[in-house]
Amino acid sequence: MAFYRSIFLVLLSIIPLILADNLPIVLVTWKYPEATLKAYDELQTGNAVDAVEVGCNVCEDYPHLCRYSVGFGNKVDEEGEPTLDAMIMDGKTHDVGAVGGLRRVKRAITAARYVMDNTRHTLLVSDPATRFAIDFGNMVNESLKTDRSENNHRQWLNGSCQPNFWENVTPDPSTSCGPYTPLPKTNAESTAKLAKDDHDTIGIVVIDSDSDVAVGTSTNGLSYKIAGRVGDSPIVGSGSYADNDVGGASATGNGDIMMRFVPSYQAVENMRRGMSPADAAAEALSRIAYRYKDFGGAIIAANKQGEYGNVNSLDTLVI
């Protein structure tokens, strides 16, 4: 009998909901039940790739259902502009489509799918990606700003631009807004710590009833990121990774740190070597936690047998 498994994952707690014991399987980071159910419903008529896309669309269309961490109207860059990153990967073909720094288009995962299905590229970024989505994909050209996002940005400016992501600059970025000028690089250790609500992503892993694997991510990135910043979500092997011979994985957390370790790829390769999904995810995260003691992040993973695992950085053993 068909079913879904949804892992509602928070960096400080994990709440698994298991309704049955066979494929298909849908795993979603964070507590986004509407997105999970939409993805599962799509599997009744569509495939794993379709399910990933429509699941992410829920958060992109209705960001209040996803902690405002995905889609329009909340997180903006330093200049007050919302930008979106997304990626989708078909584990059967290893085709990938991704967009980074997308502006004025709500459904970033759909734009990424156009890249995957209709070009021989993997990643399009910034204004050209927006033009591609609008001109080729006939996607709606609309402002992603809302009263909420504009008010948040004003408060940030009035609060001396805190938090921000500058270092080795003057004036002191911990007390002042820019413009900044560079100082010599110091040996001080950079922090990897982020507030829970200053970032995050929807990551989806789907294995359909034909045992085909697909994964995807969509995000509006970090609050008050430096304009032009693209995180880990659209980077293959960092935000997500799928291989039809093995399974899939998706990551969430501090993307600037995570992309240095391609943890989703590592988790899938760990499963290929025989690790359980939970052990595979834990080993991949431990590589990051070893280098960055205050790192916060998590990985969900599933293999072709329908086994799944979910690990956050508080669960990993640093050796």
Q: Are 219 and 72 in contact (CB under 8 A)?
A: no
Q: Are 226 and 272 in contact (CB under 8 A)?
A: no
Per-residue DSSP letters for 174-190?
TT-----EE-PPP-PPP
pTM of the model: 0.90
8-25 confidence digits (pLDDT tens): 343 322 223 334 456 899
- Is 201 a catalytic site residue? yes
Q: What integer pLDDT is reported at residue 37 of this predicted model?
A: 96
For residue 233 the two structure tokens come to 């979500």
Q: What integer pLDDT is reported at residue 45 of this predicted model?
A: 94
Q: List the catalytic residue out of 110, 201, 217, 252.
A: 201
109-134 confidence digits (pLDDT tens): 999 999 999 999 999 999 999 999 99
Pairing label, strands 247-253, 297-303: antiparallel
Residues of the chain with pLDDT under 70: 1-22, 187-200, 314-319
Q: What integer pLDDT is reported at residue 3 of this predicted model?
A: 33
Q: Are 277 and 307 in contact (CB under 8 A)?
A: yes
